[in-house]
Amino acid sequence: MKLLQQPVDLLQLSQMRLMQHVDIGHLRMLADRFELCEMAVDEVLLSPRSVNRFLYLLLEGQLTVYLDTLDSPALRLIEPCECAGEVSFIDRLPPPTYVVASQPSRLLRLHSRDFACLTTSPRLMRNLVGLLCERVRLSDRLIIDSEHNANVDMLTGVFNRRWLEHIFERERARCAFSQLPLCLLMLDVDHFKAYNDKYGHLAGDHALLMVARTLGGQLRPKDSLIRFGGEEFVILLPELDTAEARLIGERLLRSIEQVSTFDTAIGALPGVTVSIGLAQMQADDELTNLIDRADKALYQAKQQGRNRLCV
Ligand X SMILES: Nc1nc2c(ncn2[C@@H]2O[C@H](COP(=O)(O)OP(=O)(O)OP(=O)(O)O)[C@@H](O)[C@H]2O)c(=O)[nH]1
What is the binding site for ligand X (CB under 6 A)? Answer: 155, 188-194, 196, 201, 204-205, 208, 230-231, 302, 306
Rounded to the nearest whole angstrom, what is the least distance from the CB of residue 286 to ligand X in the complex? 25
CA angle centred on 92, ends 33 and 142, rounded to 5°:
110
Rounded to the nearest whole angstrom, what is the least distance from the CB of residue 307 to ligand X in the complex? 10
For residues 157 and 230, which CB has a smaller minimum distance to ligand X in the complex?
Answer: 230
For residues 41 and 155, which CB has a smaller minimum distance to ligand X in the complex?
Answer: 155
For residues 16 and 274, which CB has a smaller minimum distance to ligand X in the complex?
Answer: 274
- The residue nearest ligand X at its CB is 204
Strands 232-238 and 261-264: unpaired
H or E segment to which residue 198 belongs: helix 192-199
Residue (of 116, 123, 62) closest to 89 by Cα position: 116
Could you give the CA distance from residue 237 to residue 93 in angstroms, rounded to a whole number? 48
Which residues are part of the catalytic machinery? 231
Rounded to the nearest whole angstrom, what is the least distance from the CB of residue 252 to ligand X in the complex? 17
Q: Are 256 and 271 in contact (CB under 8 A)?
A: yes
How remote is the C-alpha of 252 from its chain's centroid? 29
Rounded to the nearest whole angstrom, what is the least distance from the CB of residue 268 to ligand X in the complex? 17
For residues 1 and 203, which CB has a smaller minimum distance to ligand X in the complex?
Answer: 203
Could you give the CA distance from residue 187 to residue 277 in angstroms, rounded to a whole number? 7
Phi-psi region of 273 (alpha: psi -120 to 50; beta: other; left: phi over 0): beta
Strands 224-229 and 232-238: antiparallel
